Amino acid sequence: RALLRPGGLWTSLDVVERTGSTNTDLVAADGPEGAVLVAEEQSAGRGRLDRTWSAPARSGLFLSVRLTPGPGVPVARWGWLPLLAGVATATALSRAAGVDTALKWPNDLLVTVDGQERKAGGILAERAGDSVVVGIGLNVSLRAAELPVPTAGSLALAGAAVLDRDPLLRAVLRSLEEWYLRWRDAGGDPGPSRLQEAYAAGCATLGRTVRAELPGDRALVGEAVAVDGDGRLVLATGDGVQEPVGAGDIVHLRP
Ligand code: BT5
């Protein structure tokens, strides 16, 4: 099945040698839904809250896509988009490379390397008018000595069967198309599209006690018990109190 086919989600696929950040480029481009931008190298890759995403040239997958959910999906439900991208990427990596990944709410993809959880990927969703630009960064071929931060891992270190960029890219885009269309056609409700269920099954955060650091040096400590209809993490903070935390409010989530 062709990736760019009439009636499909993906409308264009551009691969550039080098850019600052594929997210910055697509946010500025204001193009149609389904535009995909892939870079071999990013000189100013971005994470959330002015953090950086750094990876050597050609060591991974760096891509951004433009999604425009339309009036059928309430804006509050857009909070599911980064989580959806995580589920789609995890599904693709399992199918195409035989690698198991766990999702750390809201936007990290973890692999196990020598019995330890390491971050092998991250997702950055940014609003651009009536669209959301979703960026996915994946550490693919990095060896231990090349990891940008001590907490990082890579598909290679996790024993992936496939490390070539193109088959991984295809698998990720196919899976993202499937999950996104199902979610959008269900009005963004993560229940009927089975997204909520798939996220919960793959999420390493649920069931753990975590400390959610919020802006202004505030923090909440509680057991992560659910991800709600808007993609917020629900913390049970004691005495029956449940506090939903949105991805946009969280600075760090620590064990
Ligand atoms: C993220 O942010 O994890 C989102 C990363 C999204 C990157 C993609 S690449 C394509 C697109 N274009 C962009 O410019 N961005 C997107 P956050 O949760 O804020 O995590 C950032 C933190 O992860 C940093 O502060 C580092 O500690 C760590 N980090 C940086 N580079 C890493 C890497 N290659 N592997 C693992 N961890 C990394």
> What digits encode the pLDDT tens for the residues 144-165?
999 999 999 999 999 999 999 9
Which class for 68: exposed (0-12), middle (13-18), buried (19 or more C-beta within 10 A)?
middle
| CA 244/CA 250 separation, integer angstroms | 11
Residue 4 lies in a domain: no
Count other Cβ atoms within 10 Å, centred on residue 238. Answer: 9
Domain count, the chain: 2
Condensed to tens digits (0 to 9), the pLDDT of residues 162-184 reads: 999 999 999 999 999 999 999 99
CA of 143 to the centre of ligand 1 (A): 17
Enclosing domain of residue 184: 12-202
Residue 7 lies in a domain: no
**Is the beta carbon of 37 within 6 A of some atom in ligand 1?**
no
Average pLDDT, the chain: 96
Residue 6 lies in a domain: no
Rounded to two decimals, the ipTM of the complex is 0.99
Which is the closest atom of ligand 1 to the Cα of 49?
19
Q: Which two tokens stand for residue 45?
A: 């890759």
CA of 241 to the centre of ligand 1 (A): 32
Kindly report the CATH number assigned to the domain that includes residue 226.
2.30.30.100
